[in-house]
A and B are shown apart, each in its own frame.
Chain A
């Protein structure tokens, strides 16, 4: 399983005075089992890019294929493969419409013509997956839930499609710090189950730094950097900052300490990890 993006360009409003090139010759390949972070400032083309990955937009030039099937084709095969790439939009709770949580989550499976048993099974499983108790929430109206709960219902609606790739666009937008932490720790747990690859779009470097195994930096419609997050933070900071994003605060702090002559693990991804290393360092110094 892989998504292959080949020399994709996309132009909004072609032929009008409002024409704008949103993607410019982007080529990349996303493999099964990856956790890809896509980062870039507003208008860098990241949202346009991810909409190509499940065929919501078709490239002006170039091709996007999933498992070797070109998404721009009008075949049933192409439309079936589109559902292998699940998309969670920004503020996904705005797409809820059904009377009950269970019905809303069942919308996707019903569209895939699942049998009632199968749909029910998928709804239960998806709700469990996002941490909503079936008996408590299934029959409640989605509009009477808290913001964080609504978002989980919406994500469950996508997970019930059983995608191989899950795209999340700013999944923490508008949530409070606790909600943010919850959603990211959940995303990490989902990823660890190995059920799907995750493509996470954000402009918050901190979130991506901790989770992604691979980082793609977008600027002006191009993928300007593509590689392991730590490599990018430590060795390509100039391009990163030109693209309007900065290295995560943790890496910055560690660099500051290193300049002051303290031995630190620069490549630490977690605050706990860095703190532990600093503590050990301090202990060894202390005993000397």
Chain B
């Protein structure tokens, strides 16, 4: 039952997007996500659509994956659509009892929903093409200018890295303990809520014990290798900008500029 959980969403590959620097990817994603809100006219939406399709093809991810990231949010999408369709006043297209649908409402609803779909699809591109560890490296590098303001960038990144590192380990441990208790007749999947919560005790107690033991061991191991925080620490994998990142920035900047033009001058 635990085999279906994948860590993050990373889909290994070697495409242009996979090989971009994480810092560039995070920044590009952030800029473009904001730029999406500039689009208002169908033409602008067309441009955004084209750019996202271009990025998806560049990532060489199976199209199913993108669909999978949007599907769980269908309730929110439907809700957005309905709210806009039902509450926007304007030229009435048709009405049925107290429900009336306006032309503007339909238009706004579709555009807003599309915007949400784009936001989800584009940000999932980032997590699909960047492994969680690399992503954390990128976040640390981007946060480091704020160190002077007291943001513990390295410590935050280290905590995230460790947490990410131990998710699979703890999942494995959970799986093992569940199996061990199931072999002793434990039942984790039936009974009412209270009963189920009680049934979790034989799983949670050993899991917590092992998590604390691991944390203790890890702290000792880090200390005995002279770890003392981020100051003066060098990296094994230095982040290096390449032509890909310049190209990425250029593309996002161009699209954003065009969207700005379309918004205010056309």
Binding site for B on A (CB under 8 A): 12-13, 16-17, 51, 54, 56, 82-83, 86-87, 89, 92, 94-97, 107-108, 110-112, 143, 157-158, 161
From A16, A83, A87, A111, contact of B180 by CB (8 A): A87
Q: Are B206 and A56 in contact (CB under 8 A)?
A: no
**Contacts A13-B3, A94-B206; A107 near B186 (Cβ below 8 A):** yes
A21 to B: closest C-beta gap in Å:
14
A17 to B186, CA, bound (A): 33
B1-23 contacts to A, CB under 8 A, are 3, 6, 11-12
Q: Are A83 and B185 in contact (CB under 8 A)?
A: yes
Closest to B210 in A: A94
A92 to B209, CA, bound (A): 14
B185 to A: closest C-beta gap in Å:
3
In the bound complex, residues from chain B placing their C-beta under 8 Å from that of A56 are 179, 182-183
Closest to A54 in B: B183
A199 to B: closest C-beta gap in Å:
13
Q: Are A107 and B183 in contact (CB under 8 A)?
A: no
Whether a CB of chain A sits under 8 angstroms from the CB of B230 is: no
A87 to B181, CA, bound (A): 10
Q: Are A86 and B187 in contact (CB under 8 A)?
A: no
From A16, A107, A143, contact of B184 by CB (8 A): A107
Q: Are A111 and B186 in contact (CB under 8 A)?
A: yes
Whether a CB of chain A sits under 8 angstroms from the CB of B176 is: yes
From B6, B176, B184, contact of A157 by CB (8 A): B184
**Contacts A97-B205, A108-B184, A158-B184; A17 near B179 (Cβ below 8 A):** no
Q: Are A112 and B183 in contact (CB under 8 A)?
A: no
In the bound complex, residues from chain A placing their C-beta under 8 Å from that of B186 are 107, 111
In the bound complex, residues from chain B placing their C-beta under 8 Å from that of A54 are 183
From B177, B183, B206, contact of A87 by CB (8 A): B183
From A12, A13, A95, A112, contact of B185 by CB (8 A): A112
- Supplied contacts A86-B183, A94-B177, A97-B206, 8 more A-B pairs, CB within 8 Å: A17-B11, A56-B179, A95-B177, A97-B202, A107-B184, A107-B185, A108-B185, A111-B184
A157 to B: closest C-beta gap in Å:
6
Whether a CB of chain A sits under 8 angstroms from the CB of B201 is: yes
A87 to B180, CA, bound (A): 7
A161 to B6, CA, bound (A): 35
B199 to A: closest C-beta gap in Å:
10
B166 to A: closest C-beta gap in Å:
16
* B158-183 near A? 1/0 per residue, CB < 8 Å: 00000000000000010011011111
Q: Are A107 and B202 in contact (CB under 8 A)?
A: yes
* B209-238 near A? 1/0 per residue, CB < 8 Å: 110000000000000000000000000000
**Contacts A16-B6, A89-B179; A161 near B184 (Cβ below 8 A):** yes
Closest to B176 in A: A89
- What 4 A-B pairs come out closest when comparing CB atoms? A111-B185, A97-B205, A108-B184, A87-B183
A25 to B: closest C-beta gap in Å:
21
In the bound complex, residues from chain A placing their C-beta under 8 Å from that of B11 are 17
A12 to B3, CA, bound (A): 8
A19 to B: closest C-beta gap in Å:
11
A14 to B: closest C-beta gap in Å:
9
| Pairs A–B under 8 Å by Cβ, sample size 21 | A12-B3, A13-B3, A17-B11, A56-B179, A87-B179, A89-B180, A94-B176, A94-B177, A94-B180, A94-B210, A95-B177, A95-B180, A95-B202, A97-B202, A97-B205, A107-B185, A111-B184, A111-B186, A158-B183, A161-B184, A161-B185
A206 to B7, CA, bound (A): 39
A108 to B6, CA, bound (A): 32
Q: Are B6 and A96 in contact (CB under 8 A)?
A: no
B50 to A: closest C-beta gap in Å:
28
A71 to B3, CA, bound (A): 20
A82 to B: closest C-beta gap in Å:
8
A159 to B209, CA, bound (A): 24
Q: Are B3 and A95 in contact (CB under 8 A)?
A: no
From A17, A112, A143, contact of B209 by CB (8 A): A143
In the bound complex, residues from chain A placing their C-beta under 8 Å from that of B179 are 51, 56, 87, 89
A142 to B: closest C-beta gap in Å:
10
Closest to A80 in B: B185
Residue of B6, B177, B202 with highest tally of chain A CB at under 10 A: B202
A89 to B59, CA, bound (A): 42
Residue of A12, A54, A94, A157 with highest tally of chain B CB at under 10 A: A94
In the bound complex, residues from chain B placing their C-beta under 8 Å from that of A16 are 6
A13 to B205, CA, bound (A): 28
A170 to B: closest C-beta gap in Å:
13
A155 to B: closest C-beta gap in Å:
11
A95 to B209, CA, bound (A): 10
In the bound complex, residues from chain B placing their C-beta under 8 Å from that of A89 are 176, 179-180, 183
In the bound complex, residues from chain A placing their C-beta under 8 Å from that of B209 are 94, 143
A92 to B206, CA, bound (A): 11
In the bound complex, residues from chain A placing their C-beta under 8 Å from that of B177 are 94-95
Closest to A13 in B: B3
